[in-house]
Structure 1
Amino acid sequence: MDLDLDLDLELGALAAQDGLPASMVWRLLRHPVARRQAALLRRDLTGEQMEEIIALGSARSLAMNRWVPAPVKARLAQHPEPVIRYAVAASATDEPPGLLARLAGDPDPWCARS
């Protein structure tokens, strides 16, 4: 029996599981792959966890999460890095109202294209 597991994949899968205790989510945010998976897929991230994700450099993954509240999406839509604005545009609805119009007028053609 071969137990050669890829720890990164396992932690990433764990980070996306529903019902994971908040304390475990916090611990997993320290691991880059798990943090990106949590940022991308979790519905239950707290404001503090989202701030930690941004501070640790995974704002793009968070911007792609369709469950992120409108005020956070609006903030990420004004991020200085075009790749993060593009991620918001790729996953955006018009929440908050006017978000899509703002992104359509973005000076970076990749952001405006979505």
Structure 2
Amino acid sequence: MMELHKRRKALTEPETRYYMKQILNGVQYLHHNRIIHRDLKLGNLFLNDDLVVKIGDFGLAAKIEYDGERKKTLCGTPNYIAPEILNKKGHSFEVDIWSIGCIMYTLLIGRPPI
């Protein structure tokens, strides 16, 4: 998706909606299986020939072993990193939701939020 962003900058709302639905479905699947990706960004989202989004690069992903578990590793990409990661009090699934918001903003506006 990074290539698409570089070529097109901002996408239309219907295009963004199309991609966001797929991203949300993929992240919902991960969270249902107790996996936090922790590095969701355009560079880790890939499009196949049919314009289907694939989530990749699970190098920073973490498995939640029990309800309420909080990870404390400082990780992620600056433009997409959630405040919960920076405050070092522990984070969980919410960090992926923050990153998804940054992705949507970037797709619609053409640049990451500041």
Same fold by TM (over 0.5)?
no
TM-score using structure 2 length: 0.26
The structure with the largest helix share of the pair is: 1
The structure with the largest strand share of the pair is: 2
TM-score using structure 1 length: 0.26
